[in-house]
Amino acid sequence: MANAQGLKIAVIGGGSSYTPELVEGFIRYYNELPVRELWLVDIDAGLHKLNIVGNLAKRMVEKSGLPIEVHLTTDRRKAIAGADFVSTQMRVGMLDARGRDESIPLKYGVIGQETTGPGGMMKALRTIPVLLDVCRDIEELAPNAWLLNFTNPAGMVTEAILKYSNVRSIGLCNAPIGLIKQTSAKYNVEPDRIYAEFVGLNHLHWITRVDVEGEDKLDEMLADTTGYSATNVPAREWDPEFLKSLGAIPSYYLKYFYMTDAMLEEQLDSVKTGGNRAEVVKRVEAELFELYNDPELKDKPKQLEQRGGAFYSEAAINLMRSLHNGTNDIQTLNVANKGTIDFLPDDASIEVNCVVTKNGPLPLPLTKIPRSAVGLMHAVKTYEQLAIDAAVTGDRGLAIQAMAHHPLVPSVEVAIQMLDDMLEANKEYLPQFFEKSPANEVN
């Protein structure tokens, strides 16, 4: 892939607050991943942030003394042309749209969350067409590039790309690394001495095996009802009998399904007291950019680790290193199912352990599937498939079906009201639903 001088990396949404973490990774692992050109690209509206974060990136590289060129641009095609890796971390409609994703469902007594539930569906409708546009550019200008997708809802976005483009794409999430880190801390062992088997979808996975230094620790971990957790999902204890009979550690995102009533109450309370998660993140981001703007800062600031997206760039760098070197190591990734979870469609994106070869990730056979989880996986996947096709076609009927069949939506009536409300609120970002042309019709 790479030419003699090194690799070209394009980061779509390069003005994100996460970028310094990525840059830090490129510096640290330069020997295994010789980056020659790093292109940070963003839209016009993000130019201010791009410059701030881009200049920090330049200062970080300069300090390292490595021959990495950092380019800042709003010309996406120029950034993509000939790239070896394209990474995406974008937010169509920015934090304001996220705020609406979180608040509108609450009006209908439904969980309001940016990736799970109706909020996630709105995000998918806004985001998928933009990502597919990026893919058109990659198909033309960098057909051999790997697209590493972090853009949420990462599972749906990855599946849309696999279905509707020829781009070689892999979806990533920081949650699996989070579980490893948490277990590493709990048992005080190095992360590479831990093996965990994941099964499910993005933000809807179960961990069915945890080996620590070769010892099976699953039962021990199931006995701990705090479960595994992250800063962006409120903590809540699991019922011990439920956890034991489930026989697998649920993702913290599964609290929205297994503790719906309590999580909803918490969200409603939270709105009353301090605004939704989007508001919190806005404040954190503002503080970060203030730090980044300091011309004396030449390193990733510690505060970034509080941001919620911890380990994102670690996941990205790990994956690029393994693809570039063909290390055949095992990582938890979002890939096309192709029979791995035998009851899901072949073209469904799933989140499972893969061997990362030079030719891409190969999903490992699963050694255990929690039988209780089968129905929920399927229910959410059906919703995801309908929502993806609604996003691509702008077909209102598909959007109604998607919303009505989401397990967190209580009835068809609520589904349609909420959908209408959300479509209207996102009108600016949903031309496929509002600017009808024959090409938008479903056949």
Taking the complex as a whole, the smallest distance from the CB of residue 216 to a second copy amounts, in Å, to 9
Backbone angles phi, psi at 86, to 5 degrees: -120, 130
Q: Is 253 an active-site residue? A: yes
From the list 17, 33, 18, the residue with the least C-alpha distance to 84 is: 33
Residue 137, H or E segment: helix 118-141
187 binds a second copy (CB under 8 A): no
Closer to a second copy by Cβ: residue 213 or 305: 213
Taking the complex as a whole, the smallest distance from the CB of residue 248 to a second copy amounts, in Å, to 11
x/- track of binding to a second copy for residues 346-365 (CB under 8 A): ---------x-xxx--xxxx
Closer to a second copy by Cβ: residue 66 or 366: 366
Q: Return the residues of window 372-391 that contact a second copy according to CB under 8 A.
A: 372-376, 378-383, 385-386
DSSP 249: E
- Which residue's entry shows tokens 């490595």? 66
Contact with a second copy (CB under 8 A): which of 32, 75, 239, 424?
239
Closer to a second copy by Cβ: residue 141 or 373: 373
241 binds a second copy (CB under 8 A): yes
Q: What is the CA radius of gyration of the chain?
A: 21
Does 98 carry a binding-site annotation? yes
Does 203 carry a binding-site annotation? yes
29 binds a second copy (CB under 8 A): no
Closer to a second copy by Cβ: residue 343 or 436: 343
Q: Give dist(CA 322, CA 339) in Å, integer.
A: 24
Taking the complex as a whole, the smallest distance from the CB of residue 329 to a second copy amounts, in Å, to 7
Q: Give dist(CA 300, CA 306) in Å, integer.
A: 12
- Which residue's entry shows tokens 């938890």? 332
Taking the CA atoms of residue 152, residue 155, residue 160 and residue 166 in that order, the dihedral angle to the nearest 10 degrees is 100
DSSP 275: -
From the list 234, 260, 205, the residue with the least C-alpha distance to 408 is: 260
Give the angle 286-290-292 at the CA atoms, nearest 5°: 115
Taking the complex as a whole, the smallest distance from the CB of residue 374 to a second copy amounts, in Å, to 5
329 binds a second copy (CB under 8 A): yes
Closer to a second copy by Cβ: residue 179 or 403: 403
Contact with a second copy (CB under 8 A): which of 82, 234, 308, 345?
345
94 binds a second copy (CB under 8 A): no
Q: Are 383 and 120 in contact (CB under 8 A)?
A: no
Closer to a second copy by Cβ: residue 182 or 417: 417
Determine whether 286 is exposed, middle or buried from the number of CB atoms within 10 Å of its CB (0-12, 13-18, 19+).
exposed
Q: Give dist(CA 91, CA 310) in Å, integer.
A: 17
Taking the complex as a whole, the smallest distance from the CB of residue 391 to a second copy amounts, in Å, to 15
Annotated catalytic residue within 253, 292, 383, 429: 253
From the list 228, 244, 247, the residue with the least C-alpha distance to 236 is: 228
Partners of residue 308 on adjacent β-strands = none
Tell me the catalytic residues.
253
In the annotated binding site for substrate, the residues are 98, 152
Provide the binding-site residues for a second copy, judged by CB under 8 A: 195, 211, 214, 238-239, 241-242, 244-246, 258-262, 326, 328-330, 338-340, 342-345, 355, 357-359, 362-365, 367, 371-376, 378-383, 385-386, 396-398, 400-402, 404-405, 407, 410-416
In the annotated binding site for Mn(2+), the residues are 173, 203
